[in-house]
A and B are shown apart, each in its own frame.
Chain A
Amino acid sequence: MTTLPQSTEKKLGLVIDLDTCVGCHACVISCKEWNTSNYGAPLSDMDAYGAEPVGTFLNRVHTFEVKQENKPAQVTHFPKSCLHCEDAPCVTVCPTGASYKRVEDGIVLVNESDCIGCGLCAWSCPYGAREMDAAEGVMKKCTLCVDRIYNENIPEEDRVPSCVRTCPAGARHFGDFADPESNVSILTAERGGMELMPEQGTKPVNRYLPPRPKTDIEQIDILAPLLTRQPEETGGFLGWLDRTLEKL
Chain B
Amino acid sequence: MHPAPSVIIFTALSGLGFGMMVFLGLGFLDVSGWVAFVFVAVAYALSGGGLLSSLFHLGHPERFVKALRQWRSSWLSREGILSIVTMAVFGIYAVMWIFTDVRNPALGSLAAALAVVTIYSTSMIYAQMKSVPRWHSPMTSVLYLLYGFAGGALLTAQVTLAGWLMLALAVVQVVTWVQGDGAFAKTGSDMGTATGLGFLGKVRLLEKPHSGTNYLMSEMIHVIGRKHIMKLRIIALTLGSLIPAVLLLALPSGHVLGLVVIMIHLVGLFAQRWLFFAEAEHVVGLYYGQR
- Contact between chain A and chain B defined by CB under 8 Å: yes
Point out residues on A near B: beta carbons under 8 Å: 1-3, 18, 28, 52-57, 60-69, 71, 73-76, 78, 80, 89, 92-98, 114-120, 122-128, 131-134, 136-139, 194-201, 208, 210-211
Contact A95 B76 (CB under 8 A): yes
Q: Does B95 contact A (CB under 8 A)?
A: no
Point out residues on B near A: beta carbons under 8 Å: 1, 57-61, 63-64, 66-70, 72-77, 80, 125, 128-132, 187-189, 191, 193-197, 199-210, 212-216, 218-220, 282-284, 287-288
Other-chain residue from B59, B189, B200, B204 in contact with A116 (beta carbon distance below 8 A):
B59
- Expressed in whole angstroms, the Cα–Cα distance for A137 and B203 within the complex equals 34
Other-chain residue from B77, B130, B203 in contact with A95 (beta carbon distance below 8 A):
B77
A-B contacts at CB below 8 angstroms, number: 202
Closest to A46 in B: B215
- Expressed in whole angstroms, the Cα–Cα distance for A94 and B166 within the complex equals 34
Other-chain residue from A28, A132, A136 in contact with B215 (beta carbon distance below 8 A):
A132
Other-chain residue from B125, B129, B130, B284 in contact with A201 (beta carbon distance below 8 A):
B130
Other-chain residue from B60, B202, B212 in contact with A115 (beta carbon distance below 8 A):
B60
Report B-chain residues with C-beta under 8 Å of the C-beta of A123.
1, 129, 131-132, 219-220, 282
B131 to chain A, nearest CB (A): 4
Known: A67-B204, A95-B77, A96-B70. 6 other contacts (CB 8 A): A2-B70, A62-B208, A93-B75, A123-B131, A123-B219, A132-B219
Report B-chain residues with C-beta under 8 Å of the C-beta of A117.
58-60
Other-chain residue from B61, B206, B208, B283 in contact with A197 (beta carbon distance below 8 A):
B283
Contact A71 B201 (CB under 8 A): yes
Contact A61 B209 (CB under 8 A): yes
- Expressed in whole angstroms, the Cα–Cα distance for A216 and B72 within the complex equals 55
Closest to A28 in B: B209
Report B-chain residues with C-beta under 8 Å of the C-beta of A89.
130-131
Other-chain residue from B59, B74, B199, B200 in contact with A74 (beta carbon distance below 8 A):
B200
Other-chain residue from B58, B59, B205, B213 in contact with A62 (beta carbon distance below 8 A):
B205
- Expressed in whole angstroms, the Cα–Cα distance for A138 and B288 within the complex equals 23
- Expressed in whole angstroms, the Cα–Cα distance for A128 and B209 within the complex equals 12
14 contacts across the A-B interface (CB closer than 8 A): A63-B206, A63-B207, A64-B204, A74-B201, A95-B66, A95-B76, A114-B63, A114-B66, A120-B125, A196-B193, A196-B196, A199-B189, A200-B130, A210-B199
Which 6 A-B residue pairs are closest in the complex by CB-CB distance? A117-B59, A137-B59, A60-B209, A194-B196, A95-B77, A128-B284
Contact B207 A95 (CB under 8 A): no
Contact B206 A198 (CB under 8 A): no
